[in-house]
Amino acid sequence: MSNILAISVHPDDETLGCGGTLLKHREKDDKVFWLILTQANNKITSIPNIVDLQKQYIQEVASIYDFQEFKQLSFLTTELDRYPLGEIIREVSKYIDHIKPSIIYFNFYNDVHSDHRVAFDAVYSCTKNFRYPFIEKILMYETLSETEFAPAITKNAFVPNVFVDISTFMEKKLEIMKLFTTEQMAEPYPRAMSSIRALARYRGSRIGVEYAEAFMLLFEKQ
């Protein structure tokens, strides 16, 4: 049994990027924890009661995943670059020290969303093995509408080298994604259900299974 940490800049990132993998960890009786870095921001949406609505579906999602624990930090979405980086690092580090995960999943370093890029710098600063010796593996996941929209130059390419078969968890992943009512997109856009399924099918073809999630391995203790 291992402690697993999924870090989301925004709630739904974890489901898009590694939802099936997290369900697979739970099937193995691993303890899975969820850290959300930002909260809904009334200033950027016309959705009424967005803060309360988000808190409601976060509770529902956490219950379905059967997370051991989850925590949502108080930073506002789309404004992560306005906070001192050291403040974000302190909050993330505090939670990592609290749960001592052996495996961490978080977003690709060059996603197009500025929140994601700031988050990567903060989170990666909290994973140095001489300070956090309990960490055994660190993987970056891809987030539809963020990862593939990075400028098309070589250094921005998401090049996966780890694939996880999620065939038996694909339908549940989609059902969980439907709970994020403010984050879904209509067809044929990136976060439409058909697009999420298509990416998993494409990644599955890489390893000869029906559906898979893909990751870039940053660190693995031997």
Q: What is the largest CA-CA distance in the chain?
A: 50
For 46-55, the pLDDT digits (tens) are 788 899 999 9
Residues 57, 182: Cα–Cα separation, whole Å:
10
pLDDT confidence of residue 215:
98
What is the signed CA dihedral for 144, 93, 131, 29, rounded to 10 degrees?
-60
Average pLDDT, the chain: 95
Terminal C-alpha separation, the chain: 18
Domains of the chain, residue spans: 3-159+215-220
pLDDT confidence of residue 43:
87
Candidates 147, 159, 199; CA nearest to 19 is 199
pLDDT confidence of residue 93:
98
Contact predicate 159/216, CB 8 Å:
yes
pLDDT confidence of residue 186:
87
The better pLDDT of the pair 181, 91 is held by: 91
Tokens of 39: 């909260």
Task: Choose which CATH entry (3.40.50.10320, 3.30.70.141, 1.20.120.1200, 3.30.420.40) describes domain 3-159+215-220.
Answer: 3.40.50.10320
pLDDT confidence of residue 181:
85
Candidates 9, 103, 14; CA nearest to 62 is 14
Contacts of 134 (CB under 8 A, 6+ apart): 100, 101, 102
Candidates 182, 119, 171; CA nearest to 146 is 119
pLDDT confidence of residue 182:
81
Kindly give the pairing relationship between strand 3-8 and strand 103-107.
parallel
Tokens of 164: 């996880």
Q: Which of 14-23, 39-48, 103-112, 139-148 has the lowest mean pLDDT?
A: 39-48
Q: How many H-runs (helices) and E-runs (strands) does the chain carry?
A: 6, 7
For 53-79, the pLDDT digits (tens) are 999 999 999 999 999 999 999 999 999
pLDDT confidence of residue 45:
80
Q: What kind and span of H or E run contains 221?
A: none
Residues above pLDDT 70, as percent of the chain: 100
Q: How far is CA 117 from CA 4, 49, 120, 126, 185, in A?
A: 22, 28, 5, 15, 22
pLDDT confidence of residue 54:
93
pLDDT confidence of residue 113:
96
Banded model confidence at residue 185, pLDDT cuts 50, 70, 90: confident
Look up residue 191 and give its amino acid: R
Q: What kind and span of H or E run contains 69?
A: strand 69-76
Phi, psi of 87 (to 5 degrees): -70, -40
For 73-132, the pLDDT digits (tens) are 999 999 999 999 999 999 999 999 999 999 999 999 999 999 999 999 999 999 988 899
Banded model confidence at residue 183, pLDDT cuts 50, 70, 90: confident
Q: Give mean pLDDT, residues 171-176.
A: 98
Residues 104, 98: Cα–Cα separation, whole Å:
14
The better pLDDT of the pair 46, 205 is held by: 205
